[in-house]
Amino acid sequence: MARRKRRKFTTQFKADAVRLCAAGGQSIVKVADNLDLTETALRAWVKLAEADAGKGPKEALTTAEREELGELRRRVKRLEMEREILKKAAAFFAKENA
């Protein structure tokens, strides 16, 4: 079975697909087939929409929390790099002055 090329979908398309699952009375499998989506992708969109609406499990992250987590991880990575640079600089100057 050949792999499908990765496609990007707009936020509006995802919201419409989730709305079809919720309001249309159709199963996720049927909606995915009709829209030529993978069932896995549509299930992930439905779970994310439920979490954003506050209907999902307590441990599920909302979209805003996911974005904040990504930003915090980028900041931590940058700060760790800066710390390493400062440690190397301090060691260099300590060695030079000794």
pLDDT at position 50 is 87
User: Which residue's structure tokens are 């307590």?
Assistant: 58
* Domain 9-60 falls under CATH 1.10.443: no
Q: Where in the chain are the domains? A: 9-60, 62-98
pLDDT exceeds cutoff 70 at 1: no
**pLDDT tens-digit map of 42-61:** 999 999 888 888 887 778 88
Report the C-alpha gap between 28 and 39 in whole angstroms: 7
Start-end of H helices in 24-62:
28-35, 39-53
**Alpha carbon distance 62, 71 (integer Å):** 14
In tens, the pLDDT along 71-92 reads 999 999 999 999 999 999 999 9
